[in-house]
Amino acid sequence: MSDEAKGEQLLSAVERLVSSNETLRAHVAACEARVKSKAPEASKAELRELTARELTRSYSNRAAIAGGVTAVPALIPGFGSIAAGIAGTFAELAYLLKTEVELCLSIAHVYEFDIEKPQERQLAFLLAAVSTYDASGRNFFVDVVRAEGVAIWNYGSRVIARMLIKAMTALALAYLYRGLLRMVPVLGIVIGSSMNKVLTQRVGARASRDFRTRRALVQPAPAKKAPAKKAKKKPAAKKPKLVSLSSRGRGLG
């Protein structure tokens, strides 16, 4: 199987795993309700940030649990270690990305972007993949795309689709070394759990920052008030000339 085919296979697996938008919106509402109960006086901007943090906490815990569970077969001598090293790595990576994509979609919803739109979903997938790649101290745009990093929402749908395959391919290859570590009993569980939690936390932090910046950029500018028109001064009415009584008397005489 070619490297790109591995990336396509990983993307297909993640797409099948991602929860429905209705489920994501329900989870966002639950997290928002918890935040409001703790900070009832929070402003709209503060509520967004606090909800994004709560979502990151929730999803990073899920990723940590999955990272430990998928390494359990390594405790079985022989075949168990091989299964954990090969199949377990792909399954864990797919679930990790599924969790991170859901996190990105949820934060997008918090910042009032329409996650029903195909391009918004593409952006969430790409943001999760690129953030996971970059979390190891590398730079996807420099290493893979050979270009300077720019805001990913500035790319068109076709470019995003191509980048997404490249990102998935790069991740599939980068995670091979973790498969070797997973073959070590107990150590694989610890590494899988702790690393997944940290990765998801970093993805959440980046997603929050990016969507907050994007929302500020597309925020409609307040309507400018038209300058008040100055009322034109009406010319003062001419006062009638007063004729003195003395002049009237002379004219009558």
Q: Tell me which residue of 166, 171, 164, 165 sits closest to 93, measured CA to CA.
A: 171
The pLDDT, as a whole number, for residue 185 is 45
pTM, two decimals, is: 0.73
Instruction: Give the pLDDT confidence of 200-235 residue by residue, as tens digits.
Output: 999 999 999 999 999 988 865 444 455 555 555 655
d(CA 191, CA 180): 11
* Closest by Cα among 158, 94, 156, 157 to 129: 94
Q: Report pLDDT for 24.
A: 97
DSSP state string for 20-88: PHHHHHHHHHHHHHHHHHH-TT--HHHHHHHHHHHHHHHHHHHHHHHHHHTTGGGGSTTHHHHHHHHHH
How many C-beta atoms surround the C-beta of residue 112 within 10 A?
10
Helix (H, G, I), strand (E, B) or coil at 142: helix
Of 127, 87, 106, the residue nearest 19 (C-alpha): 106
List the structure tokens of 5: 């085919």
User: Token digits for 81?
Assistant: 């270690």
Give 19: exposed, middle or buried? Use CB within 10 Å, 0-12, 13-18, 19+.
Answer: middle
Predicted local distance difference test score (pLDDT) of residue 193: 63
Question: Could you say which residues of the chain have pLDDT below 70?
Answer: 1, 67-89, 136-137, 141-154, 176-193, 219-253
Q: Are 96 and 196 within 8 A, CB to CB? A: yes
Could you state, in order of their start, the residue ranges of all structural domains in the chain?
3-218
Please tell me the predicted confidence (pLDDT) of residue 26: 97
